[in-house]
Amino acid sequence: MRKLIVFNNVSMDGYFVDADGNMSWAYRPDAEWNSFAAENVGGGGGVLLFGRKTYDLMASYWPTPMAMQNDPVVAEGMNNLSKVVFSRTMDKASWKNTRLVNSDLASKVREMKGESGDGMAVLGSGTIVAQLAQEGLIDEYQIAVVPVVLGAGRTMFGGMKHRLNLTLKKSRAFGNGNVVLWYEPVL
């Protein structure tokens, strides 16, 4: 059975995007953080899962020359990994190695988890995170707390109808002030 993780940056006040839907505040590069990001993305396969908004954001940046210049290892990983975008409104997905799925999110992810292969990761995509968490389909949450207060924005768990209890498995602090927390659901 494939493992499904979520990796998201959150502000100190709990938002994963600001009031304008922007995530650029989370970019706080330093050598240690860049190495961690490159290992995470280039770590050997897997499938990235996105909602439409995050897909549009990622597809507008990672295939560009600017991304290759700023973060060549991460850009190569993002561009070469298999990707699935879940959307009821898109007609096609043009980013390399991307498959568009218009069917029921939870059913499709449950089916994908049952297949053999490398793990899957959700990046951004708060609406999808909340839906998959509600269904108990997420095996691990990797949350990078970024030392910034946004004041407003969107949480990745908006719309949850029941409490989700988690257990901290490990943590790691970085020189840029980010702290990554690894959580698993309490079963």
pTM of the model: 0.90
**Contact 126/156 with Cβ under 8 angstroms?**
yes
* pLDDT single digits (tens) 18-42: 999 888 899 887 889 888 877 776 5
Return the CATH number of 4-185, one of 3.30.70.890, 3.40.50.2000, 3.40.50.2300, 3.40.430.10.
3.40.430.10
Residue 105, token pair as written in the block: 């999110």
Distance CA 89, CA 102 (A): 8
Domains of the chain, by residue range, sit at: 4-185
Distance CA 137, CA 135 (A): 6
Q: Give the bridge partners for 146, in sequence order.
A: 11
Compute how many other C-beta atoms are within 10 angstroms of the C-beta atom of residue 115: 10
* pLDDT single digits (tens) 38-54: 777 655 568 999 999 89
Distance CA 101, CA 85 (A): 6
Positive or negative: CA dihedral 185, 105, 159, 126: positive
Q: Percent of the chain at pLDDT above 70?
A: 97
- Classify residue 11 as exposed, middle or buried by CB count within 10 Å of its CB (0-12, 13-18, 19+): buried
| 187-136-6 Cα angle (round to 5) | 105
